[in-house]
Amino acid sequence: MKRRVVITGIGSVTPLGLSVEETWRNLIAGKSGIRPIAIFDAGTFPTTFAAQVPDFDLAPYVRNPGEFRKAGRNVRFAMAAARQAVDDAGLAAGRFDPERTGIYMGSGEGALDFFTLCQSVAHGTGPDGKVSAAGFAEMGFKRYDAICELEQEPNMPANHLAAEYGICGPTYSCLTACAASTQAVGEAMDLLRIGELDTVIAGGTHSMIHPLGVTGFNLLTAISTGPKDQPWRASRPFDRDRAGFVLGEGSTVMILENLEHARARGAKIRAELTGYGSSTDAYRMTDIHPEGRGPAAAIRMALQDAGVRPEDVDYISAHGTGTQENDKVETLTVKLVFGPHAHKVPISSVKSTLGHLIAAAGATELMTCVLAIRDQVLPPTMNLETPDPQCDLDYVPNAARKARVEVCLSNSFGFGGQNDSLVVRRFVP
C-alpha cells in the first residue's frame, strides 16, 4: 500500500521576492520581476532583460557563509530556500534522521567562469583566427580556479545541502532542464510512498543569466527580445503576440514527508501530493510534439495516479512559456485530456511575471498551487492582451481571481521532450 505524502515546509527565492510570502504577494498583485540585466553588461545582446533575484545575501541562511564564496548562484539560492523550508517545517538541524532523509534537486550548471574562458581563448588565438591549445592552456592554468570549476557542476546544490544538514541518505540531482524540479519532486514522492525514506528535501534551483546562457537561447530564438523599454511586457503566455520566454533564476525547496512521520512529530501540513506522471516526446530536442502526445500522457498518468477525474481539477498551473509552439500545444493537450471540462478549468502561467526559472520553474509553480489552495485565489497570466484563436481557454488574464481550489495540476515540459505533471490537493486527514 502506498504511503501518503505531504508537504510540511516550503522555501523560495525568486525574482519576485526572497521568501514564499513575498513572492506570492507580488505574484497575486501582478507585479513583475523582469528588468534589465544587471549581472553583466547585456547592452549589445538581442535580449537585454531577465528575471533576476534582487539584493540577495546568503549569510543569514547558512552556518559558514565563507564556504560559499565561490559557489554558483544556483547553490546560493538553494541554500536560502532550503533554510526557509526547514524552518517552515519545524525541522531544525539535528532533527533529521540522517539515514532516513534524502535530497532530490532539479538543477543545472552553476558558476560559469565565463570571463576567464574568454581571456584564455583570446590569449590562445593566433593571427589566423585559430585557437592554439598551448596558448589557451598558458592562460587557463594561470587564471582558472579549480574550486570555481568544481562549483559549476549541477550536483553541487544537493551536495551542499547534505553537508549543511548532515543528511546521509540518497542524494539525487535531476537534470531534465525545464522539467527538472517537477520530476525531482515526483520521484521524491515515489521514494516516500514505498517507504525507503521518511523525509526528502526536494525542489529545484538554477541560474542561466550569464552571457553563454543568454546567447544560447537567443540563437535558439526561444527568448523574447522586447520590448526593451518595457521588459515587464515581454513575457506574454497564450497571447497572440507572444515571442518567447524571459530567462529567470531562483530556487524553491520543499520538505516532503510520509504522513505517518509528519503526524508523529506534530508537523503542520501544507498540502498533500497525490499524483505524478512522466513521459518523453521522443520527437525533437527543442520542439514539443505538435499533437501533444507526450504532455497528454504525463497528465493522464498523474490524474490516474492521484485517483481524480479531469472534472475534479480546480486549477492548472501551466508550463506556459510564452513561445508560439508551447502555448498552442499545451492548450491542445488540455483539450485532449480534459474534454468538455477544458473550457471550465482555469489555467494560468506565472512565468508571465516570474520569468522562466528553468530547473527551478516546476517546484516554484507547484508552490503557487499550494498557496492557491491555501488562499483560494488563482494567480494571473499577465500581459494577455490580444487573444490567440488557437489559445481559447480560461487563462485567468491580467488579474488574480478568487475561486474554489481544492485540487491542482502542475505541468512542466522540458527541452529534450521531457514531460512531468504533479497533482496536489488540500490535505484531508
Residues 119, 106 within the same domain: no
**Range of the structural domain that residue 336 is part of:** 5-112+152-425
Q: What share of the chain is helix, strand, coil (3-state, %, to 5)?
A: 40, 20, 40
Q: Is the pLDDT of residue 209 over 90?
A: yes
User: Across the chain, what does the average pLDDT equal?
Assistant: 94
Give the per-residue pLDDT at 217: 94
* C-alpha span between 373 and 286 (Å, rounded): 33
- Residues 280 and 348 occupy one common structural domain: yes
CB 72 within 8 A of CB 152: yes
Q: What angle do CA 240, 319, 221 make, to 5 degrees?
A: 60
How far, in Å, CA of 214 to CA of 358, rounded? 13
Residue 149 banded pLDDT, cuts 50, 70, 90: low
CA-based end-to-end distance of the chain = 17
The pLDDT score that the predictor gives to residue 112 is 62
92 burial via Cβ count (<10 Å: 0-12, 13-18, 19+) = exposed
Q: Mean of the pLDDT values across residues 245-269?
A: 97
What is the CATH number for 12?
3.40.47.10
Look at residue 150 in the predicted model and tell me its pLDDT. 73
Res 143 pLDDT > 80: no
Shared domain for 273 and 138, answered yes or no, is no
Residues 31 and 129 in one domain: no
Check if the beta carbon of residue 57 is closer than 8 Å to that of residue 139: no
At position 176, the amino acid (one-letter code) is: T
Same domain, 272 and 305: yes
pLDDT tens for each residue of 316-354: 999 999 999 999 999 999 999 999 999 999 999 999 999
Are 120 and 244 members of one domain? no
Query: CA triplet 310, 311, 314: central angle to 5 degrees?
Result: 95
Selected catalytic residue, list 206, 289, 356, 391: 356
The answer on 131 and 88 residing in a single domain is no
Give yes or no: residues 200 and 313 share one domain: yes
319 is known as an active-site residue: yes
By the 8 A CB rule, do 169 and 104 touch?
Answer: no
The last residue of a domain, from among 102, 123, 148: 148
Q: pLDDT per residue over 80-95, tens digit each?
A: 999 999 999 999 766 8
Check 174, 178, 369, 391 and give the catalytic one: 178
Give the chain's domain count: 2
Question: Under the phi-then-psi rule, with left for phi > 0, alpha for psi from -120 to 50, and beta for the rest, what region is 355?
Answer: left
Distance between CA atoms of residues 181 and 183, nearest Å:
5
In the beta sheet, which residues pair with residue 252? 12, 204
Q: How confident is the model at residue 146 (pLDDT cuts 50, 70, 90)?
A: low
Q: Is the pLDDT of residue 223 over 70?
A: yes
> Taking a C-beta distance cutoff of 8 angstroms, is the pair 15, 53 a contact?
yes
Cα distance between residue 60 and residue 67, in whole Å: 13
Higher pLDDT, 214 or 96: 214
pLDDT at 139: 79
Look at the chain and count its residues. 429
Looking at the fold, whether 142 and 219 belong to one and the same domain comes out as: no
Which of 97, 140, 134, 103 has the alpha carbon at shortest distance from 119?
A: 140
DSSP 271: E
Among 210, 261, 289, 319, the active-site one is 319
Residue at which a domain ends, from 99, 129, 148: 148
Please say if the pLDDT value at position 152 is more than 90.
Answer: no
As a whole number of angstroms, the distance between CA 22 and CA 5 comes to 26
Q: What sign results for the dihedral spanned by CA atoms 272, 249, 55, 155?
A: positive
Which percentage of the chain shows pLDDT scores above 70?
Answer: 97
Tell me the average pLDDT across 301-317: 98
Cα within 13 Å of Cα(37), Cβ side: 25
Of 69-78, 105-114, 191-200, 321-330, give the lowest mean pLDDT range: 105-114
Q: Tell me, what's the pLDDT at 124?
A: 87
Q: Which of 304, 314, 271 is nearest to 409 (CA)?
A: 314
- The pLDDT tens digits of the residues spanning 376-405 come to 999 999 999 999 999 999 999 999 999 999
Cell representation of residue 397:
488574464
- Region 159-181: mean pLDDT is 96
Q: What is the pLDDT of residue 93?
A: 62
Give the DSSP H/E element, type plus range, for residue 176: none
Instruction: Specify whether 82 is located in the same domain as 203.
Output: yes
Taking the C-alpha atoms of residue 3 and residue 225, their distance in angstroms, rounded to an integer, is 47
Q: Is 356 a catalytic residue?
A: yes
What's the whole-number mean pLDDT along residues 302-324?
97
Threshold 0.85, pTM exceeds: yes
33, 300 Cβ separation under 8 angstroms: no
What single string gives the DSSP state of each residue in 241-263?
T---B-BBEEEEEEEEEEHHHHH
pLDDT attached to residue 259: 98
Is residue 308 within 8 A of residue 316, CB to CB? The reply is no
Q: What is the mean pLDDT of residues 254-262?
A: 97
Residues 144 and 9 in one domain: no
Inter-CA distances, 65 with 91, 163, 383, Å: 21, 13, 39
pLDDT bucket at 115, cuts 50 / 70 / 90: confident
What confidence score (pLDDT) does residue 136 get? Answer: 82
Radius of gyration of the CA atoms of the chain, in A:
21
119 and 265 within one domain = no
Using a pLDDT cut of 90, give the percent of the chain over it: 83
CA distance 412 to 361: 8
The domain boundary, picked from 92, 126, 148, lies at: 148
Residue 116 pLDDT > 90, yes or no?
Answer: no
In the beta sheet, which residues pair with residue 217?
Answer: none
Whether pLDDT at 113 is above 70: no
pLDDT at 135: 85
CB 124 within 8 A of CB 132: yes
